[in-house]
A and B are shown apart, each in its own frame.
Chain A
Protein backbone atom coordinates (compact mmCIF):
# COMPACT_ATOMS: atom_id res chain seq x y z
CA UNK A 1 0.00 0.00 0.00
CA UNK A 2 1.35 3.37 -0.96
CA UNK A 3 0.87 5.03 2.42
CA UNK A 4 3.08 2.57 4.25
CA UNK A 5 5.56 2.56 1.34
CA UNK A 6 5.87 6.34 1.39
CA UNK A 7 6.22 6.52 5.17
CA UNK A 8 8.81 3.73 5.10
CA UNK A 9 10.80 5.54 2.41
CA UNK A 10 10.67 8.77 4.42
CA UNK A 11 11.97 6.99 7.54
CA UNK A 12 14.75 5.33 5.55
CA UNK A 13 15.71 8.69 4.08
CA UNK A 14 15.90 10.32 7.49
CA UNK A 15 18.35 7.96 9.19
CA UNK A 16 20.58 10.96 9.95
CA UNK A 17 17.84 12.44 12.17
CA UNK A 18 18.41 11.17 15.70
CA UNK A 19 16.37 13.65 17.76
CA UNK A 20 12.73 12.52 17.84
CA UNK A 21 11.27 15.80 19.04
CA UNK A 22 10.94 18.13 16.02
CA UNK A 23 10.97 21.22 18.24
CA UNK A 24 14.24 20.25 19.91
CA UNK A 25 15.71 18.98 16.64
CA UNK A 26 15.23 22.24 14.72
CA UNK A 27 14.68 25.36 16.82
CA UNK A 28 12.72 28.14 15.10
CA UNK A 29 13.93 31.54 16.18
CA UNK A 30 10.70 33.45 15.68
CA UNK A 31 8.26 35.21 18.00
CA UNK A 32 4.79 34.22 16.83
CA UNK A 33 1.88 36.66 16.85
CA UNK A 34 4.01 39.76 17.35
CA UNK A 35 2.56 43.17 16.40
CA UNK A 36 4.48 45.38 14.01
CA UNK A 37 5.13 48.92 15.23
CA UNK A 38 2.66 50.90 13.14
CA UNK A 39 1.80 54.40 14.33
CA UNK A 40 -1.62 54.77 12.66
CA UNK A 41 -2.84 51.29 11.74
CA UNK A 42 -6.30 52.41 10.58
CA UNK A 43 -4.91 55.10 8.28
CA UNK A 44 -2.31 52.67 6.96
CA UNK A 45 -4.98 50.01 6.38
CA UNK A 46 -7.10 52.46 4.36
CA UNK A 47 -4.10 53.66 2.36
CA UNK A 48 -3.00 50.13 1.52
CA UNK A 49 -6.50 48.95 0.55
CA UNK A 50 -6.84 51.95 -1.78
CA UNK A 51 -3.43 51.03 -3.20
CA UNK A 52 -5.02 47.84 -4.58
CA UNK A 53 -7.61 49.96 -6.44
CA UNK A 54 -10.43 49.20 -4.02
CA UNK A 55 -12.71 52.03 -2.92
CA UNK A 56 -12.74 52.86 0.78
CA UNK A 57 -15.22 55.07 2.63
CA UNK A 58 -15.23 55.88 6.32
CA UNK A 59 -18.30 55.78 8.57
CA UNK A 60 -18.01 57.79 11.79
CA UNK A 61 -20.40 55.35 13.45
CA UNK A 62 -22.60 52.36 12.62
CA UNK A 63 -25.47 54.86 11.95
CA UNK A 64 -23.73 55.99 8.75
CA UNK A 65 -23.47 52.49 7.29
CA UNK A 66 -26.96 52.37 5.63
CA UNK A 67 -26.28 55.63 3.76
CA UNK A 68 -22.78 54.57 2.66
CA UNK A 69 -24.06 51.19 1.47
CA UNK A 70 -26.79 52.84 -0.59
CA UNK A 71 -24.36 55.40 -2.05
CA UNK A 72 -21.77 52.77 -2.93
CA UNK A 73 -24.32 50.58 -4.71
CA UNK A 74 -25.78 53.55 -6.57
CA UNK A 75 -22.32 54.62 -7.72
CA UNK A 76 -21.66 51.15 -9.14
CA UNK A 77 -25.20 51.03 -10.60
CA UNK A 78 -25.88 47.82 -8.71
CA UNK A 79 -29.54 46.84 -8.86
CA UNK A 80 -29.57 43.72 -6.71
CA UNK A 81 -27.77 42.73 -3.51
CA UNK A 82 -27.21 39.38 -1.78
CA UNK A 83 -27.65 39.77 1.98
CA UNK A 84 -26.28 36.90 4.12
CA UNK A 85 -28.61 35.90 6.97
CA UNK A 86 -26.45 37.37 9.74
CA UNK A 87 -26.05 40.86 8.21
CA UNK A 88 -27.74 43.62 10.24
CA UNK A 89 -30.94 44.43 8.27
CA UNK A 90 -30.44 48.13 9.08
CA UNK A 91 -27.30 48.20 6.88
CA UNK A 92 -29.30 47.55 3.71
CA UNK A 93 -32.56 49.38 4.54
CA UNK A 94 -31.70 52.59 2.70
CA UNK A 95 -30.48 50.72 -0.39
CA UNK A 96 -33.78 48.81 -0.46
CA UNK A 97 -35.69 52.08 -0.27
CA UNK A 98 -33.65 53.34 -3.22
CA UNK A 99 -34.90 50.36 -5.25
CA UNK A 100 -32.08 47.82 -4.88
CA UNK A 101 -33.52 44.30 -4.84
CA UNK A 102 -32.44 42.44 -1.70
CA UNK A 103 -31.85 38.71 -2.14
CA UNK A 104 -31.60 36.25 0.75
CA UNK A 105 -29.54 33.05 0.51
CA UNK A 106 -32.40 30.95 1.90
CA UNK A 107 -32.85 28.44 0.36
CA UNK A 108 -29.26 28.52 -0.95
CA UNK A 109 -29.02 30.39 -4.26
CA UNK A 110 -27.89 28.44 -7.32
CA UNK A 111 -24.64 29.44 -9.07
CA UNK A 112 -26.67 30.77 -12.01
CA UNK A 113 -28.98 32.86 -9.85
CA UNK A 114 -26.00 34.27 -7.95
CA UNK A 115 -24.32 35.12 -11.24
CA UNK A 116 -27.25 37.40 -12.13
CA UNK A 117 -27.00 39.46 -8.93
CA UNK A 118 -24.95 42.64 -9.05
CA UNK A 119 -23.50 42.82 -5.55
CA UNK A 120 -23.02 41.20 -2.15
CA UNK A 121 -22.62 42.74 1.29
CA UNK A 122 -20.61 41.10 4.07
CA UNK A 123 -19.11 41.93 7.43
CA UNK A 124 -15.53 40.76 8.08
CA UNK A 125 -13.43 39.42 10.97
CA UNK A 126 -10.04 41.03 10.73
CA UNK A 127 -8.15 43.64 8.71
CA UNK A 128 -4.36 43.77 8.29
CA UNK A 129 -2.93 47.27 8.07
CA UNK A 130 0.52 46.52 6.67
CA UNK A 131 -0.79 44.49 3.75
CA UNK A 132 -4.24 46.04 3.27
CA UNK A 133 -5.88 42.64 3.65
CA UNK A 134 -9.40 41.78 4.86
CA UNK A 135 -10.16 38.30 6.19
CA UNK A 136 -13.55 36.59 6.25
CA UNK A 137 -14.32 33.43 8.21
CA UNK A 138 -17.69 32.98 6.51
CA UNK A 139 -19.88 32.92 9.59
CA UNK A 140 -23.44 34.26 9.54
CA UNK A 141 -22.75 37.93 8.75
CA UNK A 142 -20.44 36.99 5.85
CA UNK A 143 -22.23 34.05 4.32
CA UNK A 144 -20.85 31.01 2.58
CA UNK A 145 -17.80 31.50 0.35
CA UNK A 146 -19.61 31.56 -2.96
CA UNK A 147 -21.71 34.60 -2.00
CA UNK A 148 -18.73 36.96 -1.80
CA UNK A 149 -17.20 35.55 -4.99
CA UNK A 150 -19.68 35.32 -7.85
CA UNK A 151 -21.39 38.77 -7.82
CA UNK A 152 -19.26 41.43 -9.52
CA UNK A 153 -19.23 43.84 -6.55
CA UNK A 154 -18.34 43.11 -2.93
CA UNK A 155 -19.39 45.65 -0.29
CA UNK A 156 -17.38 44.81 2.80
CA UNK A 157 -17.95 46.38 6.21
CA UNK A 158 -15.12 46.36 8.74
CA UNK A 159 -14.97 47.94 12.21
CA UNK A 160 -11.82 49.79 13.29
CA UNK A 161 -11.46 47.47 16.29
CA UNK A 162 -11.08 44.58 13.82
CA UNK A 163 -8.01 46.14 12.23
CA UNK A 164 -4.65 44.78 13.42
CA UNK A 165 -1.20 45.80 12.33
CA UNK A 166 0.01 42.76 10.47
CA UNK A 167 -0.23 39.15 9.28
CA UNK A 168 0.99 37.54 12.57
CA UNK A 169 -1.66 39.29 14.65
CA UNK A 170 -4.30 38.39 12.09
CA UNK A 171 -3.28 34.72 12.14
CA UNK A 172 -3.58 34.74 15.93
CA UNK A 173 -7.15 36.04 15.61
CA UNK A 174 -8.06 33.62 12.83
CA UNK A 175 -6.57 30.44 14.27
CA UNK A 176 -9.60 29.72 16.52
CA UNK A 177 -11.96 29.97 13.51
CA UNK A 178 -9.74 27.65 11.48
CA UNK A 179 -9.51 25.19 14.38
CA UNK A 180 -13.33 25.16 14.40
CA UNK A 181 -13.11 24.15 10.69
CA UNK A 182 -14.42 27.46 9.35
CA UNK A 183 -13.10 28.25 5.87
CA UNK A 184 -11.18 31.53 5.74
CA UNK A 185 -10.70 33.87 2.77
CA UNK A 186 -8.17 36.70 2.63
CA UNK A 187 -9.01 39.52 0.26
CA UNK A 188 -6.49 42.15 -0.79
CA UNK A 189 -8.23 44.41 -3.26
CA UNK A 190 -10.35 43.30 -6.19
CA UNK A 191 -9.48 40.28 -8.30
CA UNK A 192 -6.35 40.97 -10.35
CA UNK A 193 -3.84 39.42 -12.74
CA UNK A 194 -0.36 40.23 -13.93
CA UNK A 195 -0.18 37.35 -16.36
CA UNK A 196 0.17 39.40 -19.53
CA UNK A 197 3.55 41.11 -19.69
CA UNK A 198 3.47 41.48 -15.90
CA UNK A 199 1.17 44.47 -16.22
CA UNK A 200 -1.42 44.49 -13.45
CA UNK A 201 -5.07 44.32 -14.49
CA UNK A 202 -7.78 44.66 -11.84
CA UNK A 203 -10.77 42.43 -12.32
CA UNK A 204 -10.66 38.89 -13.61
CA UNK A 205 -12.89 36.22 -12.06
CA UNK A 206 -13.58 37.52 -8.59
CA UNK A 207 -15.55 40.71 -7.87
CA UNK A 208 -14.18 43.51 -10.03
CA UNK A 209 -15.29 46.14 -7.54
CA UNK A 210 -14.34 45.94 -3.87
CA UNK A 211 -16.07 48.65 -1.81
CA UNK A 212 -14.86 48.81 1.79
CA UNK A 213 -16.72 50.65 4.55
CA UNK A 214 -14.56 51.31 7.62
CA UNK A 215 -16.73 51.90 10.68
CA UNK A 216 -15.46 53.88 13.71
Chain B
Protein backbone atom coordinates (compact mmCIF):
# COMPACT_ATOMS: atom_id res chain seq x y z
CA UNK B 1 0.00 0.00 0.00
CA UNK B 2 1.51 3.31 -0.94
CA UNK B 3 2.13 5.82 1.79
CA UNK B 4 -0.08 8.39 0.08
CA UNK B 5 -3.06 6.08 -0.04
CA UNK B 6 -2.48 5.19 3.60
CA UNK B 7 -2.32 8.87 4.52
CA UNK B 8 -5.68 9.50 2.89
CA UNK B 9 -7.14 6.42 4.51
CA UNK B 10 -6.10 7.70 7.94
CA UNK B 11 -7.36 11.18 7.12
CA UNK B 12 -10.74 9.94 5.99
CA UNK B 13 -11.12 7.49 8.88
CA UNK B 14 -10.23 10.26 11.29
CA UNK B 15 -12.84 12.56 9.79
CA UNK B 16 -15.44 9.82 10.07
CA UNK B 17 -14.46 9.22 13.69
CA UNK B 18 -14.76 12.97 14.19
CA UNK B 19 -18.36 13.00 12.99
CA UNK B 20 -19.10 10.36 15.63
CA UNK B 21 -17.65 12.74 18.24
CA UNK B 22 -19.71 15.56 16.72
CA UNK B 23 -22.91 13.62 17.34
CA UNK B 24 -22.18 13.70 21.04
CA UNK B 25 -20.87 17.28 20.94
CA UNK B 26 -24.13 18.48 19.38
CA UNK B 27 -26.06 17.69 22.55
CA UNK B 28 -23.64 19.79 24.60
CA UNK B 29 -23.95 22.68 22.16
CA UNK B 30 -27.74 22.69 22.23
CA UNK B 31 -27.98 22.99 25.98
CA UNK B 32 -25.14 25.47 26.21
CA UNK B 33 -26.81 27.67 23.61
CA UNK B 34 -30.07 27.76 25.54
CA UNK B 35 -28.84 28.04 29.08
CA UNK B 36 -25.15 28.89 29.02
CA UNK B 37 -24.60 25.67 30.92
CA UNK B 38 -22.10 22.98 30.14
CA UNK B 39 -24.26 19.89 30.58
CA UNK B 40 -22.03 17.34 32.26
CA UNK B 41 -24.82 14.77 31.93
CA UNK B 42 -24.79 14.70 28.11
CA UNK B 43 -22.65 11.55 27.90
CA UNK B 44 -24.92 9.82 30.38
CA UNK B 45 -27.96 10.93 28.38
CA UNK B 46 -26.43 9.21 25.34
CA UNK B 47 -26.10 6.04 27.38
CA UNK B 48 -29.55 6.27 28.96
CA UNK B 49 -31.36 6.97 25.68
CA UNK B 50 -29.61 4.04 24.01
CA UNK B 51 -30.37 1.76 26.98
CA UNK B 52 -34.07 2.64 26.75
CA UNK B 53 -34.11 2.04 23.00
CA UNK B 54 -32.33 -1.32 23.13
CA UNK B 55 -34.33 -2.33 26.21
CA UNK B 56 -37.61 -1.86 24.36
CA UNK B 57 -36.23 -3.68 21.31
CA UNK B 58 -35.33 -6.62 23.55
CA UNK B 59 -38.90 -6.64 24.80
CA UNK B 60 -39.92 -7.38 21.21
CA UNK B 61 -41.19 -3.95 20.21
CA UNK B 62 -40.71 -2.81 16.60
CA UNK B 63 -37.80 -0.45 16.05
CA UNK B 64 -39.94 2.61 15.32
CA UNK B 65 -42.06 2.06 18.40
CA UNK B 66 -38.96 1.55 20.55
CA UNK B 67 -37.50 4.79 19.19
CA UNK B 68 -40.71 6.72 19.80
CA UNK B 69 -40.97 5.49 23.37
CA UNK B 70 -37.30 6.31 23.94
CA UNK B 71 -37.91 9.84 22.62
CA UNK B 72 -40.94 10.16 24.91
CA UNK B 73 -38.79 9.11 27.85
CA UNK B 74 -36.15 11.69 26.96
CA UNK B 75 -38.86 14.38 26.79
CA UNK B 76 -40.16 13.26 30.18
CA UNK B 77 -36.59 13.43 31.41
CA UNK B 78 -36.34 17.02 30.10
CA UNK B 79 -39.51 17.95 32.02
CA UNK B 80 -38.15 16.33 35.16
CA UNK B 81 -34.80 18.11 34.97
CA UNK B 82 -36.49 21.47 34.35
CA UNK B 83 -39.05 21.00 37.12
CA UNK B 84 -36.76 19.57 39.78
CA UNK B 85 -33.40 21.15 39.01
CA UNK B 86 -33.22 24.04 36.54
CA UNK B 87 -36.33 25.93 37.64
CA UNK B 88 -34.81 26.44 41.05
CA UNK B 89 -31.55 27.74 39.64
CA UNK B 90 -32.72 30.54 37.34
CA UNK B 91 -30.23 33.42 37.34
CA UNK B 92 -27.71 31.49 39.36
CA UNK B 93 -24.08 31.51 38.33
CA UNK B 94 -23.28 29.11 35.45
CA UNK B 95 -20.97 27.16 37.75
CA UNK B 96 -23.96 26.36 40.00
CA UNK B 97 -25.89 25.03 37.02
CA UNK B 98 -22.84 23.07 35.92
CA UNK B 99 -22.52 21.46 39.33
CA UNK B 100 -26.19 20.55 39.21
CA UNK B 101 -25.66 18.72 35.92
CA UNK B 102 -22.89 16.69 37.55
CA UNK B 103 -25.44 15.48 40.09
CA UNK B 104 -27.94 14.84 37.32
CA UNK B 105 -25.33 12.77 35.49
CA UNK B 106 -24.56 10.51 38.43
CA UNK B 107 -28.24 10.04 39.15
CA UNK B 108 -29.09 9.17 35.55
CA UNK B 109 -26.23 6.66 35.26
CA UNK B 110 -27.31 4.86 38.43
CA UNK B 111 -30.98 5.03 37.45
CA UNK B 112 -30.21 3.58 34.01
CA UNK B 113 -28.28 0.73 35.55
CA UNK B 114 -31.05 0.10 38.07
CA UNK B 115 -33.70 -0.13 35.35
CA UNK B 116 -31.82 -1.86 32.53
CA UNK B 117 -28.95 -3.68 34.23
CA UNK B 118 -25.23 -3.44 33.57
CA UNK B 119 -24.93 -6.00 30.79
CA UNK B 120 -23.76 -5.32 27.27
CA UNK B 121 -26.75 -5.15 24.92
CA UNK B 122 -25.95 -5.94 21.28
CA UNK B 123 -27.70 -3.56 18.88
CA UNK B 124 -28.23 -3.90 15.15
CA UNK B 125 -30.42 -1.31 13.46
CA UNK B 126 -29.40 -2.34 9.96
CA UNK B 127 -26.59 0.15 9.36
CA UNK B 128 -24.36 -1.42 6.67
CA UNK B 129 -21.20 -2.76 8.26
CA UNK B 130 -18.94 -3.78 5.41
CA UNK B 131 -16.07 -1.95 3.75
CA UNK B 132 -15.30 -0.62 0.30
CA UNK B 133 -11.77 -0.89 -0.99
CA UNK B 134 -10.65 1.68 -3.51
CA UNK B 135 -7.36 2.46 -5.23
CA UNK B 136 -4.72 0.06 -6.52
CA UNK B 137 -5.08 -3.39 -4.88
CA UNK B 138 -7.73 -2.02 -2.55
CA UNK B 139 -5.18 0.28 -0.97
CA UNK B 140 -7.75 2.47 0.72
CA UNK B 141 -10.57 1.21 2.87
CA UNK B 142 -13.82 3.07 3.48
CA UNK B 143 -16.10 1.73 6.20
CA UNK B 144 -19.74 1.80 5.19
CA UNK B 145 -20.76 2.17 8.81
CA UNK B 146 -18.63 5.27 9.24
CA UNK B 147 -19.98 6.79 6.07
CA UNK B 148 -23.55 6.13 7.21
CA UNK B 149 -22.83 7.72 10.57
CA UNK B 150 -21.34 10.75 8.86
CA UNK B 151 -24.42 11.15 6.66
CA UNK B 152 -26.71 10.91 9.69
CA UNK B 153 -24.61 13.45 11.59
CA UNK B 154 -24.66 15.77 8.58
CA UNK B 155 -28.44 15.57 8.29
CA UNK B 156 -28.89 16.18 11.98
CA UNK B 157 -26.67 19.23 11.91
CA UNK B 158 -28.44 20.66 8.91
CA UNK B 159 -31.85 20.26 10.51
CA UNK B 160 -30.66 21.75 13.80
CA UNK B 161 -28.89 24.68 12.13
CA UNK B 162 -32.06 25.50 10.17
CA UNK B 163 -34.13 25.14 13.32
CA UNK B 164 -31.96 27.59 15.24
CA UNK B 165 -31.80 30.17 12.48
CA UNK B 166 -35.23 30.14 10.96
CA UNK B 167 -37.75 29.30 13.67
CA UNK B 168 -39.17 31.45 16.46
CA UNK B 169 -38.21 28.83 19.00
CA UNK B 170 -34.69 28.83 17.64
CA UNK B 171 -34.44 32.61 18.03
CA UNK B 172 -35.94 32.37 21.51
CA UNK B 173 -33.31 29.76 22.40
CA UNK B 174 -30.57 32.13 21.35
CA UNK B 175 -32.11 34.97 23.34
CA UNK B 176 -32.29 32.80 26.45
CA UNK B 177 -28.67 31.83 25.97
CA UNK B 178 -27.61 35.50 25.86
CA UNK B 179 -29.40 36.61 29.02
CA UNK B 180 -31.99 34.75 31.08
CA UNK B 181 -33.46 37.87 32.66
CA UNK B 182 -33.62 39.91 29.46
CA UNK B 183 -35.29 37.00 27.68
CA UNK B 184 -37.87 36.72 30.45
CA UNK B 185 -38.54 40.45 30.34
CA UNK B 186 -39.53 40.31 26.66
CA UNK B 187 -41.93 37.46 27.32
CA UNK B 188 -39.89 34.41 26.40
CA UNK B 189 -41.03 31.52 28.60
CA UNK B 190 -37.70 30.43 29.98
CA UNK B 191 -38.87 27.20 31.55
CA UNK B 192 -40.62 26.11 28.38
CA UNK B 193 -37.53 26.83 26.33
CA UNK B 194 -35.40 24.76 28.65
CA UNK B 195 -37.76 21.81 28.35
CA UNK B 196 -37.65 22.09 24.56
CA UNK B 197 -33.90 22.29 24.38
CA UNK B 198 -33.31 19.42 26.81
CA UNK B 199 -35.80 17.38 24.79
CA UNK B 200 -33.96 18.13 21.56
CA UNK B 201 -30.67 17.30 23.29
CA UNK B 202 -32.30 14.06 24.44
CA UNK B 203 -33.23 13.25 20.85
CA UNK B 204 -29.69 13.99 19.68
CA UNK B 205 -28.42 11.78 22.52
CA UNK B 206 -30.65 8.97 21.29
CA UNK B 207 -29.30 9.23 17.75
CA UNK B 208 -25.72 9.30 19.05
CA UNK B 209 -26.45 6.40 21.40
CA UNK B 210 -27.95 4.26 18.64
CA UNK B 211 -24.99 4.84 16.36
CA UNK B 212 -22.31 4.32 19.01
CA UNK B 213 -24.30 1.40 20.43
CA UNK B 214 -24.56 -0.24 17.00
CA UNK B 215 -20.80 -0.22 16.89
CA UNK B 216 -19.92 -1.38 20.41
CA UNK B 217 -23.10 -2.74 21.89
CA UNK B 218 -25.01 -0.57 24.31
CA UNK B 219 -22.94 -0.57 27.48
CA UNK B 220 -21.79 1.76 30.19
CA UNK B 221 -18.63 2.72 28.36
CA UNK B 222 -20.90 4.84 26.14
CA UNK B 223 -20.93 7.50 28.83
CA UNK B 224 -17.19 8.05 28.38
CA UNK B 225 -17.56 8.96 24.71
CA UNK B 226 -18.42 12.39 26.09
CA UNK B 227 -14.71 12.80 26.78
CA UNK B 228 -14.08 12.59 23.05
CA UNK B 229 -16.56 15.41 22.46
CA UNK B 230 -14.83 17.92 24.75
CA UNK B 231 -11.96 18.91 22.46
CA UNK B 232 -14.49 19.14 19.63
CA UNK B 233 -16.45 21.69 21.67
CA UNK B 234 -13.37 23.65 22.63
CA UNK B 235 -12.30 23.88 19.02
CA UNK B 236 -15.67 24.34 17.36
CA UNK B 237 -17.11 26.67 19.96
CA UNK B 238 -19.70 25.85 22.59
CA UNK B 239 -22.48 27.73 20.83
CA UNK B 240 -22.20 26.65 17.22
CA UNK B 241 -23.99 23.68 15.71
CA UNK B 242 -21.91 23.73 12.50
CA UNK B 243 -18.87 24.27 14.76
CA UNK B 244 -19.51 20.89 16.34
CA UNK B 245 -19.24 19.23 12.96
CA UNK B 246 -16.22 21.16 11.70
CA UNK B 247 -14.56 20.75 15.10
CA UNK B 248 -15.23 17.02 14.97
CA UNK B 249 -13.70 16.71 11.53
CA UNK B 250 -10.56 18.59 12.55
CA UNK B 251 -10.16 16.80 15.88
CA UNK B 252 -10.87 13.37 14.40
CA UNK B 253 -8.47 13.77 11.50
CA UNK B 254 -5.85 15.54 13.62
CA UNK B 255 -5.72 12.96 16.39
CA UNK B 256 -5.55 9.99 14.04
CA UNK B 257 -2.81 11.52 11.89
CA UNK B 258 -0.90 12.51 15.03
CA UNK B 259 -1.22 9.05 16.54
CA UNK B 260 0.16 7.37 13.45
CA UNK B 261 2.83 9.83 12.36
CA UNK B 262 3.92 11.42 15.65
CA UNK B 263 2.79 8.81 18.16
CA UNK B 264 5.72 6.43 17.66
CA UNK B 265 8.11 9.15 18.91
CA UNK B 266 6.20 9.29 22.21
CA UNK B 267 5.60 5.56 22.67
CA UNK B 268 2.07 5.74 21.26
CA UNK B 269 -1.31 6.51 22.83
CA UNK B 270 -1.00 10.25 22.20
CA UNK B 271 -4.34 10.83 20.51
CA UNK B 272 -6.13 11.27 23.79
CA UNK B 273 -4.12 14.32 24.83
CA UNK B 274 -3.21 15.46 21.35
CA UNK B 275 -6.87 16.28 20.65
CA UNK B 276 -6.80 18.75 23.54
CA UNK B 277 -3.48 20.21 22.46
CA UNK B 278 -4.87 20.72 18.98
CA UNK B 279 -8.00 22.37 20.37
CA UNK B 280 -5.96 24.67 22.59
CA UNK B 281 -3.73 25.62 19.68
CA UNK B 282 -6.80 26.91 17.88
CA UNK B 283 -7.85 28.76 21.02
CA UNK B 284 -4.66 30.78 20.85
CA UNK B 285 -6.06 32.44 17.75
CA UNK B 286 -9.82 32.10 18.35
CA UNK B 287 -10.46 32.08 22.12
CA UNK B 288 -14.18 31.59 21.55
CA UNK B 289 -13.58 28.58 19.32
CA UNK B 290 -13.71 28.52 15.54
CA UNK B 291 -17.42 29.25 15.32
CA UNK B 292 -18.16 30.46 18.83
CA UNK B 293 -19.83 33.80 19.43
CA UNK B 294 -17.45 36.59 20.17
CA UNK B 295 -18.65 38.29 23.32
CA UNK B 296 -17.70 41.93 23.64
CA UNK B 297 -18.39 43.40 27.04
CA UNK B 298 -18.08 47.16 27.39
CA UNK B 299 -17.04 48.79 30.60
Do A and B actually bind?
no
> Which residues of B are interface residues toward A (Cβ below 8 A)?
none
